[in-house]
Amino acid sequence: MELQSDGITDTVKRAPNRIAARQPSPLLLIVIIAQSILYGAHLTLLPMWSDEAFTVQTVAEPPARIIEIVCQDIHPPLYFLLAHWWNRLPIGSDPLQRLRILSVLFVIVTTVLVERFWLRSAPQRFRQWFLLFWALSPCLLLFGRMARSYSLQMLLVTIAIWYVLGFARNPTAGKLVALTLSLTALLYTHYLPGVALWFGASLLLLLSLQRRRGIWKWWVLCNGLVAMLYLPWLVTLAGALQQWERYSVYSVTGNIWAEQIVKLFYCFYSFTFGEAIPIWLLPATLLLVIPCLCVLFSGAGLQREWKWPALFTAAVAYIGATGCQLRS
């Protein structure tokens, strides 16, 4: 009776937490409204970029022609196919504006999922700082409004990481299917985050399942299913890797290792403060580095078990983006 009573008591204690998790957060609603205004206003303010022009021209073609075009490019077809069908909706007369609206929707959905997946269990102050930096990120504000696959990549990475962590903690057939589909969708959207996260997920599964029986069964099954679903595009990926090997990277310093320091610093700075800011704003950005780093390290401390796989994933992505220079 005591065991039953304790179980009932624990259930009653956990019930308010589950109800609160299902209820919309007032802070999340404020952030969504702010993002809708910031990201949705004046979508045609900036002229069409050359990359966006490629998107507009490509998605206007039939699906079979789209696949043929991207096979000769360095992008998988998923975003272009989704944009093709989205662009057929009667939303305004400007195809560029319609595609930018699609990118904004991906950003807003990502915000909801990030808050739902991770921030609900995080400390209140951390949630507030994270959502503040997230909603007002100049990098996100610029690239999240572009008619490109950036925001879709971010959305699929968010979903895939969630299922990777869930599967690593408690592998089940349902989670295996969700993980496989999310990783495959990411690979069909962009090579760099797809391959990097695939490698990182494989490492995390090896580290987390090493003390459980059937580790190789789950590991091989997961990777085998992803490879099987991605098999139709593996030949195209091999061609893209050959283009990557021939691609030359612009060097600022002329020194391999000094170049990495400059690029890592610029990556952090551009994501946090934007790629072009007035000179008078530089002192403010130096002051904001401290809370930015606090949020970064606080967030890493909340999920210590996937710190090394996350660093491994970031390293693979970084090498993929700058590997030509590292080979020289």
- What pLDDT is stored for residue 6 in this prediction? 44
Any domain includes 219: yes
What tens digit of pLDDT does each residue of 276-309 get? 777 887 787 878 778 877 877 777 676 666 677 7
* Residue among 254, 280, 256, 284 at smallest CA distance from 269: 284
User: In the predicted model, what is the mean pLDDT of the chain?
Assistant: 82
C-alpha span between 53 and 299 (Å, rounded): 37
- What pLDDT is stored for residue 82 in this prediction? 97
- What pLDDT is stored for residue 243 in this prediction? 66
Any domain includes 16: no
Question: At CA 315, angle to CA 309 and CA 316, rounded to 5?
Answer: 90
Any domain includes 267: yes
> 233 and 307 in contact (C-beta within 8 Å)?
no
Question: At CA 186, angle to CA 79 and CA 86, rounded to 5?
Answer: 20
- What pLDDT is stored for residue 7 in this prediction? 42
Any domain includes 13: no
Any domain includes 2: no
Any domain includes 6: no
Q: What is the three-class DSSP state of 92?
A: coil
What tens digit of pLDDT does each residue of 112-143 get? 999 988 888 888 888 888 898 888 888 888 89
Residues of the chain with pLDDT under 50: 1-21, 326-328
Any domain includes 11: no
CA 127 to each of CA 118, 215, 276, 285, 305: distance values in angstroms, whole numbers, following the listed order = 9, 35, 27, 21, 20
Domain range enclosing 121: 27-327
C-alpha span between 71 and 6 (Å, rounded): 60
- What pLDDT is stored for residue 177 in this prediction? 94
Extract the tokens encoding 246.
């021939």
Domain count, the chain: 1
Any domain includes 248: yes
At 50, give phi and psi (nearest 5°): -65, -35
